[in-house]
Chains A and B, each alone.
Chain A
Amino acid sequence: GAGVSQSPRYKVAKRGQDVALRCDPISGHVSLFWYQQALGQGPEFLTYFQNEAQLDKSGLPSDRFFAERPEGSVSTLKIQRTQQEDSAVYLCASRSPSGSSYNEQFFGPGTRLTVL
Chain B
Amino acid sequence: RKEVEQDPGPFNVPEGATVAFNCTYSNSASQSFFWYRQDCRKEPKLLMSVYSSGNEDGRFTAQLNRASQYISLLIRDSKLSDSATYLCVVIPWAGTGKLIFGQGTTLQVKP
A and B together in one complex = no
Q: Which residues of A contact B (CB under 8 A)?
A: none
